[in-house]
Amino acid sequence: MNPQDASALVECRNLSFGYGERRILDNVSFTIPRGKVTALMGASGGGKTTTLRLIGGQVRPQGGQLLFDGTDVGALDREGLFAVRRRMGMLFQFGALFTDMSVFDNVAFPLREHTDLPEPLVRDIVLMKLQAVGLRGARDLMPSEISGGMNRRVALARAIALDPDLVMYDEPFSGLDPISLGTAARLIRQLNDTLGITSLVVSHEIPETFHMADQVIVIANGRIAAQGTPDDVRASTDPLVVQFVNALSDGPVQFHYPGPGVAEDFGGGLR
């Protein structure tokens, strides 16, 4: 086994994964450098969320290795996996807040589960995290009483409650209005720099993501189509990357789902 790159917090080596016959990732290798914001981009169904699930150990690689700070995540037992996950924070696409708990209790949840801190200290930490996402005043509200953007920010406060080394964001901008979207993008960058964490963002929002990220990885058809700084990716001549970056409806990723030919289908012969 090659020694791990010390500057990388996460290293994927020849990673392969699929569901049944369908290959999602095929021999993919990349690293996520410490202290940087890395964006994972690509068309829907391209394997971005699966990559997050692999890093978090929710699914195991079918080939290759996934190292988190030198530990092979795919080879860990349940206890080992839980120990690694305590060093990760994850922001789910729609927040995944506990709907029966207030905003305060949601953020306090990981602290109460994993530490024996006295309640006054838990309160101070929760308020600090909520202050960081601008929602200290909303601590007593229930998740049903806050907007989608606020929901995502509470989930972010919860994800950083235990001061993780890595925070993974699964499409943090989807469904947000422009103000909330800009706020979320600024927050991710700001928290990354102030807390000294490493961020991995799965996103489709090209302008915000390119503006915020240090490194961009574009995954398409189970392989890496482009990797580098946002400028490197913009300059890529790979047809898939060109289609993705310029939001073209047709290209290597086809607009029409595969089916019988138009002449054949409209002739009345097939159903």
Q: Name the segment binding another protein (CB under 8 A); options: 23-31, 66-74, 80-88, 252-260.
A: 80-88
Nearer to another protein by Cβ, of 82 and 266: the residue is: 82
Give the whole-angstrom CA distance, residue 168 versus residue 120. 29
Q: Give the full edge-to-edge strand order of the sheet including 166-170.
A: 88-91, 166-170, 198-202, 37-41, 215-220, 223-228
Please tell me whether residue 58 binds another protein under the rule CB under 8 A: yes
Only segment of 8-16, 31-39, 105-113, 206-214 that touches another protein (CB under 8 A) = 105-113
Give min distance, CB of 244 to another protein, in A: 26
- C-beta of 141 vs 242, nearer to another protein: 141
Minimum distance from residue 221 beta carbon to another protein (Å): 26
| Total residues in contact with another protein, by rule CB under 8 A | 22
Least distance (Å) from another protein to the CB of residue 154? 12
96 forms part of the interface with another protein (CB under 8 A):
yes
- 147 makes contact with another protein (CB under 8 A): no
Nearer to another protein, 114 or 211 (CB): 114
Kindly state the smallest distance separating residue 68's Cβ from another protein, in Å.
13
Written as one letter, the residue type at 108 is A
By CB under 8 A, tell whether 266 contacts another protein: no
- Distance in angstroms (rounded) separating the CA atoms of residues 110 and 114: 6
Residues 153 to 212 in contact with another protein, rule: CB under 8 A: 155, 158
Residue nearer to another protein on the CB measure, 75 or 83: 83
Q: CB 54: neighbour CB atoms within 10 A?
A: 25
| Member of 77, 113, 116, 250 binding another protein (CB under 8 A) | 113
The binder of another protein chosen from 46, 56, 172, 222 (CB under 8 A): 56
- In the set 29, 71, 93, 227, which binds another protein (CB under 8 A)? 93
Beta bridge pairs of residue 19: 22
Name the residues that contact another protein, by CB under 8 A. Answer: 56, 58, 81-83, 85-86, 88, 90, 92-94, 96-99, 109-110, 113-114, 155, 158
